[in-house]
Structure 1
């Protein structure tokens, strides 16, 4: 008798569980699907790698932004040695803040007249896909590709996206022409620098006009992995901090220093703390 009662109790419990599961399944099946946006995204974030590098340098940062829910799509943009631009896909309605990972196949080209042409073509193509504004992220020499693009587009064009934010990582902003490696004795953060006049003549002269005529939020990230040498082992901190020389109102400028072994030049784009700062800046 006791055994029968126990079996009845077990059967009753099983029936109740099955009923609950059935109800849950019914609710889940009848829930409306999450609607796909009927409009394409109008903003994209574009990454530029450094000298001799590739889009591999952009993978960790872009992967983090997807994991954190900032974006759901990565698209590769490749510039051939002849300057032809190709995309691995196009911006779609279901995309959220698409990430564009640029690769220059001629990755040691320091002719910034050419890189300006390459970046301009990428921006034109993105505009044709419906992108109205961009966030530009550069590492090392990728920042000079960005800087020369901005310098050559002081006046906004209705054929190009507006540059909403610029994030510079380990940028050699006080380089001299034909010298991809920055000179450590140049310090444009110091107005009394003896090299300032030469710098303005041969390098990024006129870049300040872009910032004076546009409203771009600038974040400058640099690393000190060498202690008293104030360098990330490749680019001196003075070289990176020189970006401040150019940024004028109504654009805004802020900078962030990272220290320690993970602040080494190539480790900065693998640094999770850097990634956190990127996401915070992009969502402000």
Structure 2
């Protein structure tokens, strides 16, 4: 009887040991599965990062030629602040100076001109930031005269957003060929209303606009038509316009047709001209200079590696 009890005790004890081992194996199996899942998640993230990092980053040719950034109507130092910061982060350029122009043409500066081959960038601010394009063209001339006189700069690039693009173009067709001023090598217009904000061209196809010019022309456009032959032939132009693709046929402020209207004048006079339409929710007028696609278009056009 005692042997039976002892044998039964051994069987029960052995069962308990086996069950305990199975539980430990199950626990170990669950832990391994959790670790595997975490590793899979990490691996997935690594693949995503790898795909992002594998895209060829834009490389730029480094020169000492400064690029001037000119804000739009009512613009401030904040207008191009984001773009200039992103350019620096990408090592595309270096923010060197901020020049503020008073209505009488007097210029004050912040920063330090180093004359280094780091694609220097200069932000131009108009103290009277809501003045007309004719006066702004005069102030752009004052800035270029200042750079030539003070720093012996003989060549620049211009980037203008909205009204800044219109005023820059007006400068080019008025003073762009003056030999006493620095040469403008590259000019980028972003969301510039070259045919103002008038109506009457909504039904015109973009192909017809390119071939024949706008159906209805503003006074601004008519004036550009008479002056276009004075546009300097050495100045290449990139024209960037926005299309929200929401039925507005534009960036919410400037219509595609107003922005692209200048292409007809540039092409008929055989100027070096290129245009790009940026689409999507970040193609709104005030977001164009915050759009990374615009960043790349501008940087590639001005500083592309030869």
User: TM-score, normalising length from structure 1?
Assistant: 0.75
Q: Which residue of 1 aligns with 2:158?
A: 136
Do the aligned residues in 2 keep the contact of 1:184 with 1:239 (CA within 8 Å)? no
Q: How does 1:62-73 map to 2 (within 5 A)?
A: 62-73=84-95
Shift of 1:198: 5.6
Residue 136 of structure 2 is aligned to residue 115 of structure 1: yes
Q: 1:127 to 1:189 in 2, by over 3 A?
A: same
Do the aligned residues in 1 keep the contact of 2:194 with 2:221 (CA within 8 Å)? no
Residue 268 of structure 2 is aligned to residue 278 of structure 1: no
Bigger helix fraction: 2
Residue 246 of structure 1, aligned match among 237, 258, 265: 265
Q: Which residue of 2 aligns with 1:20?
A: none
What is the aligned-residue RMSD (CA, Å)? 2.2
Residue 185 of structure 1, aligned match among 194, 200, 213: 200
Residue 177 of structure 2, aligned match among 134, 151, 155: 155
Q: Which residue of 1 aligns with 2:284?
A: 264
Deviations 1:230-265 (A, max 9, x none): 110100000100120222466311111111110000
Give the Cα separation in 2 of the matches to 1:244 and 1:141: 17
Do the aligned residues in 1 keep the contact of 2:195 with 2:221 (CA within 8 Å)? no
Give the Cα separation in 1 of the matches to 2:215 and 2:88: 45
Q: Which residue of 2 aligns with 1:86?
A: 108
Residue 172 of structure 1, aligned match among 189, 193, 202: 193
SS in structure 2 at match of 1:73:
strand
Q: Which residue of 2 aligns with 1:125?
A: 146
Give the Cα separation in 2 of the matches to 1:120 and 1:70: 26
Q: Which residue of 2 aligns with 1:215?
A: 234
Larger Rg: 2
Shift of 1:42: 4.6
Q: 1:215 to 1:279 in 2, by over 3 A?
A: same
Q: 1:66 to 1:210 in 2, by over 3 A?
A: farther
Do the aligned residues in 1 keep the contact of 2:141 with 2:175 (CA within 8 Å)? no
Q: Which residue of 1 aligns with 2:80?
A: 58
Shift of 1:169: 0.3
Residue-pair matches, total: 234
Q: 1:192 to 1:218 in 2, by over 3 A?
A: closer
Q: 1:254 to 1:43 in 2, by over 3 A?
A: same
Do the aligned residues in 1 keep the contact of 2:176 with 2:184 (CA within 8 Å)? no
Deviations 1:25-56 (A, max 9, x none): xxxxxxxxxxxxxxxx7511001111112131
Give the Cα separation in 2 of the matches to 1:146 and 1:105: 17
Give the Cα separation in 2 of the matches to 1:265 and 1:130: 35
Do the aligned residues in 2 keep the contact of 1:48 with 1:55 (CA within 8 Å)? no
Shift of 1:190: 5.6
Do the aligned residues in 1 keep the contact of 2:134 with 2:167 (CA within 8 Å)? no
User: TM-score, normalising length from structure 2?
Assistant: 0.70
Give the Cα separation in 2 of the matches to 1:224 and 1:131: 37
- Which blocks of at least 5 consecutive residues in structure 1 are unaligned? 1-40, 176-181
Q: 1:263 to 1:44 in 2, by over 3 A?
A: same
